[in-house]
Amino acid sequence: MTDRAHHARNAGNKAMSKPAWHPISASPATRQASSRQRRRALWVCVGIVLGTLLLLPAAAVMGPRVPAFLPSYQTATVVAYIIITYLIFAHYRATRTLDLLYIGAACFYCAGIFLLQFLALPDMFLPQGALLGGPQTTIWLWFFWHAGLALGILAYAASRWWSPALAHYHPERMAQWLMAAVMAALVASLALVTAFHEQLPVLDNNGDFHGVVSSGVGPLLQGITALALLVLWQATRFRAVLHVWLGVALVALLCDNAITMAGGSQFSVGWYVGRCNALVSATLLLLIYLREMNQVYLKTVQDARLLALNNAMLEVRMDQVRLDDLTGLPSRSLFLELAETLRSRDLPGRHAVALLFIDLDGFKRINDDLGHDRGDAVLIEVAAALRSVLRDSDIAGRVGGDEFVVCLVAPAAVIKATATAVAGRIVSRVAAIGDGIGCSIGIALCQAENMEWDSAMRQADEAMYQAKRQGKSRFTVYGHTLLDEMA
């Protein structure tokens, strides 16, 4: 076996021995988190918490007023939530993991709230005032998106324990129902901050956010977020990759809420740090799924390479099946396929094909008197003799026990001379093997453009028997009149 065949077989065996890859097994929602991933997530949490604690004493200090910060932050967060919503729902369609719908619905709700908050920002689109709502609109939308994300993660964690009956009996409708619920929640949120704006508790007093704490809204938000983190831990023990980074996102939200409330006003240090923590929380899920897309791409490339190796292995095995085990020459089917390729090549001028049918003389006596091992050795030597006298473009094959065939192409004017010269060399080389071995060769000559292989094979076979009747160890050409016409 050649090195190429050996390597292809080994690669193919390895590929076939590997377990089948499935989208669900590659999902971050089910893939086991490694100890390294857990350590990395833990260090991210430590960094967020330590950074928040270190800056907490300076949270109320007013920072520089950067007009471009807020629209940049809003845009980045909206884009992050829109992309992650798309990726999660695409992941759900691929895996049909219903739990993912709660995360996707929460991200979709957050994206909608952020868009509404963008419209409600004072002086963002109008010189004075906002396109949407009043002075309490943005702070309440801030509460809604924090609570919406925490509640979505809480629903996801709870679903790990208990599957709702509707989801169990109608899984195909779950996505539509959740999207309808999110749209209803967005409409209700919009109504609360616009139509019922005057009835909302005052949380923002001309840029002072201390009402978030005194009204109990802030502590309630922290309680919801902490509950989501606790239930996520109890339900999942942070076993999967998604569980780990959902936990980190909740820690970032807790720190965001804490330092934002400690800052107490817009453009304070606490407000800036809180926005950064919120952006970290939003982008963590995005980074997880972008990494997932990269992993899927790498897996696809790897599978494509393995498939190519498997195909190469199969091609080698097919060729080996179609090669004669003893001599290594093509078998009848492969010989005819190769010969047809040779005949149909676009060659300049008029060309003809010569088919040589070779039958060994005295081979039965070799087997009977000297044994089959010597007979096999003779067949191998005959194959070597054929290779030694043929041109690179000529094709040889073994079609029977001691029967060989050769196909060659030459200009029609010299096809007879070429074929007889090759046949003469074959007769001489086979006779040189010894032990009384010889060969009789029948030659059929045909025009390349209208050749029929079955007819050519019968003609060559008939000419070979004529050579045997004339005394063996010689060649005979079939159809002399045809030769004259071709010349």
Region of 201 (left: φ > 0; alpha: ψ -120 to 50; beta: rest) is: beta
Chain centroid to Cα 74, Å, comes to 35
Domain boundary assignment for the chain:
3-304, 332-486
Q: What confidence tens digit (pLDDT) does each residue in 56-80 have?
A: 999 999 989 888 898 899 899 999 9
Strands (E), 184-264: none
Using a pLDDT cut of 70, give the percent of the chain over it: 86
Type of residue at 228: A
Q: What confidence tens digit (pLDDT) does each residue in 98-155 have?
A: 888 899 899 999 999 999 988 888 877 777 778 888 889 999 999 999 999 999 999 9
pLDDT in the model for residue 4: 40
The pLDDT mean for the chain works out to 83
The 10 Å CB-count burial string (b at 16+, else e) for 442-467 is bbbbbbbeebebeebbebbbebbebb
Q: Does domain 332-486 have CATH number 3.30.70.270?
A: yes
Angle at 275 between CA 271 and CA 280, to 5 degrees: 145
d(CA 158, CA 151): 10
pLDDT in the model for residue 315: 61
- Are the beta carbons of 125 and 97 closer than 8 angstroms? no
d(CA 160, CA 156): 7
pLDDT of 36 higher than 80: yes
Tokens of 407: 């196909």
DSSP state letter for 440? E
Sheet containing 475-478: order of strands? 395-398, 403-411, 351-361, 438-447, 475-478
Q: How many residues does the chain have?
A: 487
pLDDT in the model for residue 346: 61
Q: What is the pTM of this model?
A: 0.60
Find the range with the poorest average confidence among 275-279, 312-316, 389-393, 423-427.
312-316
Beta bridge mates, 444 = 355, 478
d(CA 132, CA 123): 11
Topology of domain 3-304, CATH: Rhopdopsin 7-helix transmembrane proteins (1.20.1070)
pLDDT of 487 higher than 60: no
Q: What confidence tens digit (pLDDT) does each residue in 266-286 have?
A: 889 999 999 998 888 888 878
Q: What confidence tens digit (pLDDT) does each residue in 405-449 have?
A: 999 988 888 989 999 999 999 999 999 988 888 999 999 998 877
Distinct helix (H) and strand (E) counts, the chain: 17, 5
Q: What confidence tens digit (pLDDT) does each residue in 9-21 have?
A: 444 444 444 444 3
d(CA 238, CA 29): 10
Phi first, then psi: what are they for 197, rounded to 5°? -60, -40
Tokens of 103: 């995360």
pLDDT of 485 higher than 70: no
Which is more confidently placed, 405 or 206?
Answer: 405
Q: Name, in order, each residue with C-beta under 8 angstroms of 441's C-beta and a sequence gap of 6 or more.
A: 356, 357, 358, 359, 423, 426, 427, 463, 464, 467, 474, 475, 476
Kindly list the distances between the CA atom of residue 331 and the CA atoms of 320, 323, 388, 430, 458, in Å, as whole numbers in the listed order.
Answer: 10, 5, 19, 20, 17
Exposure of 137 by Cβ count < 10 A (0-12 exposed, 13-18 middle, 19+ buried)? Answer: buried
Tokens of 249: 């996102």
Strands (E), 362-474: 395-398, 403-411, 438-447
pLDDT in the model for residue 436: 85
